[in-house]
Amino acid sequence: MADNMTPEKREQHWAKTSNLMRTLMFLWFIFSFGVHLFAVQLNSVTILGFPMGYYMAAQGSLIAFVVLCFWNASAQNKIDEEFGVAEE
């Protein structure tokens, strides 16, 4: 259990957790800001009537956010199980 975790294990667990956090924050940044910096250029491409710059802000990024949240839940859970600090 977590109460008798060695400091080394604790640090490893947190290092892995922090890594996952950084990965997710990077992707979050890309889909929140990075992609839309090019909205004007993307808008010159039109698929099914959607200018792509508009599409990314109206739908594309949103789908990415949903995926990121579920991914975070499952990846963090794996880390917790690996270190034996998951609940139950």
Partner 1 sequence: MAYEVGKGGFLANLGKIYGGYAGGFIGFTIVLAILEQMGVSNQFIGYAFVFLTIGVYAYIGILSRTMDVSEYYVAGRVVPAFYNGMATGADWMSAASFISMAGGLYLAGYNGLGYVLGWTGGYVLVGVLLAPYLRKFGQFTVPDFLGTRYEGNTARALGVVVLFCASFTYIVSQCFGIGIITSRFLGIPFEIAIFVGLIGILVCSMLGGMRAVTWTQVAQYIILIIAYLVPVIWLSTTRYGIPIPELTYGQALAQIAELEKTLGVVKAHTSAFTNAQGQFSWTEFHNFWALVLCLMVGTASLPHILMRYFTTPSVKQARESVGWSIFFIFLLYFTAPAYAAFAKLEVYQDVIGQPIAQLPIWVQNWSQVGGLLTIRDANNDGILQLAEFVINQDIIVLSMPEIAGLPYVISGLVAAGGLAAALSTADGLLLAIANALSHDVYYKMINPQATTAKRLIIARALLVIVALIAAAVAGTRPSGIIQMVAWAFSLAAAGLFAPLVLGIWWKRTTSAGAILGMICGFGVTLFYLVATRYFDMPLWFGIRNISSAVFGLPVAFIVTWAVSLVTTPPSKEMQDFVDSIRVPSGAVKAEAAH
Where do contacts with partner 1 occur on this chain (CB under 8 A)? 1-3, 5, 10, 13-14, 17-18, 20-21, 24-25, 28, 31-33, 36, 39-40, 43, 46-51, 53-55, 57-59, 61-63, 65-66, 68-70, 72-73, 76-77, 80, 83-88
Calpha distance 22→34 (Å, rounded): 16
In the complex, what is the shortest distance from the CB of residue 27 to partner 1, in angstroms, rounded to a whole number? 8
Cite the beta strand spans of 1-88 per DSSP E: 46-47, 50-51
In the complex, what is the shortest distance from the CB of residue 57 to partner 1, in angstroms, rounded to a whole number? 4
**DSSP state at residue 62:** H
**DSSP state at residue 49:** T
Question: What's the farthest any 2 CA atoms get from each other in the chain?
Answer: 59
In the complex, what is the shortest distance from the CB of residue 75 to partner 1, in angstroms, rounded to a whole number? 10
